[in-house]
Structures are given as C-alpha cells and as structure tokens.
Structure 1
Amino acid sequence: MGRLAKEQEIAERLGVRYLTGPATHSILFSFVTLVASQERYDRMLTSALAKGFTPENSEFLALDNRNANRFDGFDAMRRALVEARGRYIVFTHDDIEFTHDGAAELEARLDELRALDPDWTLAGNAGGIGYRRGKHHLAVHIDDPHKLGLRVTQPELVESLDENFFVMRRNRPVVNSYDLEGFHFYAGDLCRMSEIMGGRSYVIPFLLSHHSGGTVDEAFPLCRSRFERKYRRYFVGRNLQMTVAEFRFGLAGMCEGWGETPKSRWDFLKRNVYAPERSGVDDT
C-alpha cells in the first residue's frame, strides 16, 4: 500500500472532516432566552409563532432560571453558543413580545444590514451611540413602558446594545468575558469584545414590545463597578454610552498601568475584577 493510500485510510478510520468553506446552518434563527417566568416566556413564544417564527425557520433554547438562577447573562451566552444551530442567534429577555414585526421583517432587516456592512457582528433594538459633552446619544426602536416613541429608519452604528433583544451572526461569534458576571452589561461586554475583534454593532428598525422598562436592582452598582474597572484599562480616556448608564474612563486606567508587573496585574484582577463570591457554575 502506498503512503498516500495509507494516509487516506487512516483519515477515514478517524472520521476526519475536511472543512472547505463557511459553516452551514440548518435553520435561520436560534432564539436564546433567559427564562425566569414561564408565564412571560409562554407569551413570548405565542407571539413568535403568530409572527412567523416556526419550527421550519427557528429553534428556541431556554436557559432555565425558573426555580433558581442557574445562569447569569454572561455564562448564559457562552452556554448557548455551543447549542445554537441557526444562521442568526437571537438573545432575548423572557418579557418581550412580538407585537409588530416578525420573521420576514427580521430577515429583511438583517439582509439590509449585511448589504450596508458585510462585517457587522451584533444588532439590536436599542443602544448607545455615544456620550459627548454631557449628553446621552441613543438609538432606540422599541415599544416599552418608557413610551419615548423613538425610532430609527435605517441601521445606526452604536457602541453598546441593550440586553432585551440582540442578534449575533453564527459565523462571526463573540463570547462574553470570563471575568465578569451578573445580569447587567453583558450585551455591552459583547460589544466591547466585538470591537476588539474587528466587528461592529448596530441598532436596526425591527419593532417589538418589551414589557419592562429595565431593572436597576441592588446588584447593578456592583456589576457597573466591575465592568468599569475592567475596561478603563483598555479604553483609557474614552466615554462609553449604554442604554442605562454611561462610563467616563478618564486616565484612571493609564495611572493604574504605570509601573505594572505581572504580579501587580494579577493582584489588580483579583481585587477589582474577579468576583470573590462567584457561584462557579460547573460546565465541565
């Protein structure tokens, strides 16, 4: 047996798969939802089916927090990526409802975005354009309790997205930070990771209803502090606009970096970023 034939036989025995192009997808949308309330989630599912999100074009993955918080926003996104089969991965809260646009509109808006920017990474219905001269600049296309009535007519480039609804391209995946946790700023974290990887985020004119105006609970200040302490070292002097907060990093990150050693860097992470009370969900 010749060498080439022998190598081919070994490859066949081991079941080698030769990848020759982009990843394929069996469906269009993978919906990933942090589910705390079955009643709210049932309302979302009912509205999704009514608006054309069917088993033929969509799958629905529920991160089960109904009886306990098994997942937070950061680890939920990482967990879902290994399961999703859709061309687009759609992350949602369980309290959204498809009252306006549906499957046809979402596919059309994403096709339009790809024509505008082939390198887009994330898209959503609300986000921060920037924080400049003490003013908040937002792009919003949503019905929610705030009743602001804000709308976009075309994709708007943003530096952050809201967590209630956002879309990721399966062939341009982004993962959340391993050193952050909680239920706030995980979409903003994805936008930062996307930016570092060379991607861009947009708000698109896709309209749905979000039945919450956002929750600023007792965990919010801690999540904000950890997010700030991490990113001020990488975005020195930058202002960053979220839908629920703004960050003015100033020169603090630069000052912290002066005279840094490997040990001081590790001490900084342990003290300011890593959460000592982490629950440590076992994903092995």
Structure 2
Amino acid sequence: MEYDFLQKIEAAESPVFSYSICTLTTRIEEYREMVDSFIRAGFGREDCEFLYIDNSAQNHSDAYTGINRFLARAKGEYIIVCHQDILIDKDTRNDLENKLSELQQLDQRWAICGNAGAAGPNHIVYHISYPDNVFKDKGKFPLKVTALDENFLVIKKSAMLATSADLSGFHLYATDLCLHAEIRGFSSWVIAFNLTHKSYGNADHTFEQSRRQLIKKYNHAFRNRWIQTPSAVFLLSGAKLRWFYANPLALFAVRMWNGIKKRL
C-alpha cells in the first residue's frame, strides 16, 4: 500500500500571521474606525489578519460561540479579541510587544492578558483611557489575575483556549477563558497597555443571567467527586478536609451507596 496520504505534523509549526484581530460587530462604521486605529498603531496588513462576525443586521453569533469560531480560524501567533468601540490611539504595537516580551520572561505559561481585570475580591485593576482624556490606572503591572475585562484580550494561539460550549450570551466570556486557562495549567494577567475605550461597559439585564449561568456551571464542575478509572479510584476535592472524605471508610460508604442506587 502507498502511504502518501499520511500527513506528518511538526512539533512546532510557524504561525501565518503575527496577530489575528477578532471582533464581533454591530456597527460596521465604528468597527472600521477601530481597524484604522490598529493599522496606524503598527498592526499592518502584511502580517496581521482582521476577522469579524457581522451582527449588524441580525445576531448571527453570541460571544461564546463567536470567540470559539475566532480561536479555531485565527492563524496568528497572538489572537486579539476586542470590542468594536476601542481605539488603539495611546500605546502602539511596539508597546504591546514590549509588554508581551516582559510577560513571557516573567511567566512562560501565560495564556491570556488584557488591560483590566481582577486579582480577587475588591482587587480590581485597570490601565485604560476613556473619552475626554480620562485615564484610569490602578495596580502594579504585570499582575496575575483571575478574571479579565472583555474590551481587549490577547490570547496565545499555542495555549489552545476555548470558551464553554454550555454558556451563552455576551458577558463574562473573558472570565470563562481565564478559568479554562487555569484548568489547562496556564495563567491570566493584566498588562499596562493603554487604549481608548469609548464606553464604560454595559451591564444590562442579560448580565445577571450570564452571571448565574457561569456560577452554576463552575459550581458543578468544581464539585467534590470520586473518580473511578479502569485501574484506580480517587477523590477530587479542594476542601481542606478531603483527607477525611478520602479515607477507606468513606470510600466504602460511597461504594455501598452506589450499589444501593443500582438496585433501586
């Protein structure tokens, strides 16, 4: 048999572009204004691709589905997911690359970063401008965080992140990506990259729905549980008392209960 149909994958394939700049759009003119600002800041068409999903006439994709489409399609070393209402009019591409180089030296396992986020309860940080020359800066950067704001995200293509298939809407997808990054062994950061965001965000009535969905999903995902494999059984738990739940007597009780359930 001839085996010329087999395709060998190299250990590390070079990206086609330096950056993939991805945006869900509802106002095409504003999106084009954003693209122009990227190009003026040094993100040239020769090594950057601009991908968008057009939701201007009707909603073709929510953020979770759309970002997964971007992440699968993008061919850049870095994938920028951003709002259409930002302008790269403060810092430039050179500034961003200096910040990414600094971050890479600090933590080679970073997967996603942005210009605003939170490192814990009441520890919100940001480095961002708004119209009328309003500049807001709080935090010591770069700073490892647990959640990011969605206005501007930089994602390593090699981290192979994705949003949850069982979440939907247009809020908290950056938090979802940060949680996925941590599960996969990566980290999330806020860097001091300044741009203009033309709005202060929109926590509309759908935000609370997205919040409830995300909490429900991860409460279930991070629950205490026994794992039975073909060759081993063990407890997964973040609780400090997991030594109690993982002792042989507790395992015996769980096995007995599972046996009873099968006979019910």
TM-score, scaled to structure 1: 0.75
SS in 1 for 2:211: helix
Q: Does 1:162 align with 2:149?
A: yes
- The equivalent residue for 2:123 is 137
Larger radius of gyration: 2
**Code of the aligned partner of 2:189:** Y
- Encode CA deviations 1:252-284: one digit per residue, 9 max, x unaligned: xxxxxxx999xxxxxxxxxxxxxxxxxxxxxxx
Is 1:22–1:171's contact at 8 Å kept on the other side of the alignment? no
- Residues 111-122 of structure 1: matches in 2 within 5 Å? 111-122=101-112
Q: Does 1:205 align with 2:215?
A: no
2:62 corresponds, among 72, 94, 98, to 72
> How many angstroms does 1:148 deviate by?
6.2
Separation in structure 2 between the aligned mates of residue 145 and residue 232 of structure 1, nearest angstrom: 38
Is 2:55–2:61's contact at 8 Å kept on the other side of the alignment? yes
Separation in structure 2 between the aligned mates of residue 48 and residue 153 of structure 1, nearest angstrom: 26
Is 2:131–2:196's contact at 8 Å kept on the other side of the alignment? no
SS in 1 for 2:171: coil
Q: Which runs of 5+ in 1 are unaligned?
A: 1-5, 237-250, 252-258, 262-284
- The equivalent residue for 1:276 is none
**Code of the aligned partner of 2:164:** S
Q: Does 1:193 align with 2:180?
A: yes
Is 1:23–1:171's contact at 8 Å kept on the other side of the alignment? no
- The equivalent residue for 1:11 is 3
2:207 corresponds, among 220, 223, 226, to 220
- The equivalent residue for 2:235 is none
Is 2:145–2:189's contact at 8 Å kept on the other side of the alignment? yes
Runs of 4+ in structure 1 over 4 Å off: 145-148
> How many angstroms does 1:234 deviate by?
3.9
Separation in structure 1 between the aligned mates of residue 139 and residue 120 of structure 2, nearest angstrom: 16
TM-score, scaled to structure 2: 0.80
SS in 2 for 1:171: helix
Separation in structure 1 between the aligned mates of residue 23 and residue 103 of structure 2, nearest angstrom: 23
- Encode CA deviations 1:141-179: one digit per residue, 9 max, x unaligned: 111369462145531100001111001101111111010
Q: Which runs of 5+ in 2 are unaligned?
A: 224-238, 240-253, 259-264
> How many angstroms does 1:43 deviate by?
1.3
Question: Quick check: 182-191 or 77-86, which moved more?
Answer: 77-86
SS in 2 for 1:219: helix
Question: Quick check: 145-154 or 45-54, which moved more?
Answer: 145-154
> How many angstroms does 1:105 deviate by?
1.3
Identity of aligned residues (%): 35
**Code of the aligned partner of 2:54:** D
How many residue pairs get aligned? The number is 227
Separation in structure 2 between the aligned mates of residue 162 and residue 137 of structure 1, nearest angstrom: 13
> How many angstroms does 1:140 deviate by?
0.6
- Encode CA deviations 1:23-81: one digit per residue, 9 max, x unaligned: 31121100000111112111101111111111122110011111111111100111112
> How many angstroms does 1:20 deviate by?
2.8
**Code of the aligned partner of 2:125:** A
Separation in structure 1 between the aligned mates of residue 76 and residue 126 of structure 2, nearest angstrom: 26
Separation in structure 2 between the aligned mates of residue 162 and residue 149 of structure 1, nearest angstrom: 14
Is 1:152–1:204's contact at 8 Å kept on the other side of the alignment? no
